[in-house]
Amino acid sequence: MPVSRDDVLAWITAIASVLAENKNYLTELDAAIGDADHGANMDRGFKAVMNKMPEIRDKDIGTIFKTVGMTLLSTVGGAGGPLYGTLFLQAGMKTAGKMEMTAQDWAEALEAALNGVVMRGKAEPGDKTMVDALTPALSVYKQAIAEGQPLHIALQRSAEAARQGMESTIPLVARKGRASYLGERSAGHQDPGATSSYLILNAAAQTWKNSA
């Protein structure tokens, strides 16, 4: 079964919920190496997205993603707004007009999203950013569907790769963003952006696990 528009809406709702639950955790992570606002910013952004839900319930997946992206751009402070806004806008361009997504559609949307984030943030794997979670998540997902794995298994593996990528940021010295100002002192802390990226991808795996 493909991922339906309703599945996508359920995922957006799940993201808002998990970011609200982890608001303080993300802020604590950001307090160590950033401006201590990532949790509050992401929570505010997705609360604004939830307010848009009545307008997008009957729209195609591309429009839903683009609306999420534009809302995050206008409501999320710091680097999170432009980066997550770009992520959803790029995913929206790849899914324009679609009322459902195949496993391959999601691979293309996620790849476009990652490429957009890389272009906007000029970050590479190893820079201690959300790219460290998104890059392995995409790679493992594409490998899983190439092997013919069902969607729920591919998503599960993708989320696990994102978690490992998130944890891999702990020993890294930040080379991008606010954390890079700390130099060596940024080592030993988990990157908040990689953490929110993992939470978002894990929400997809949990929400779409019945789409096989």
Place of tokens 């998503």: 155
138: in domain:
yes
Sequential pLDDT tens for the chain (212 residues): 799 999 999 999 999 999 999 999 999 998 887 788 999 999 999 999 999 999 999 999 999 999 999 999 999 978 889 999 999 999 999 999 999 999 999 999 999 999 999 999 999 998 899 999 999 999 999 999 999 999 999 999 999 999 999 999 997 767 666 665 556 766 878 999 999 999 999 999 999 998 75
57: in domain:
yes
* pLDDT value at residue 186: 65
38: in domain:
yes
159: in domain:
yes
* pLDDT value at residue 34: 79
The whole model's pTM is what?
Answer: 0.95
* pLDDT value at residue 172: 79
75: in domain:
yes
Distance of CA 131 to the CA centre of its chain: 10
* pLDDT value at residue 114: 98
Q: What CATH number should be reported for the domain holding residue 156?
A: 1.25.40.340
* pLDDT value at residue 158: 98
| Domain limits for position 14 | 3-207
Distance of CA 84 to the CA centre of its chain: 7
65: in domain:
yes
* pLDDT value at residue 36: 86
212: in domain:
no
Q: Report the number of distinct structural domains present in the chain.
A: 1
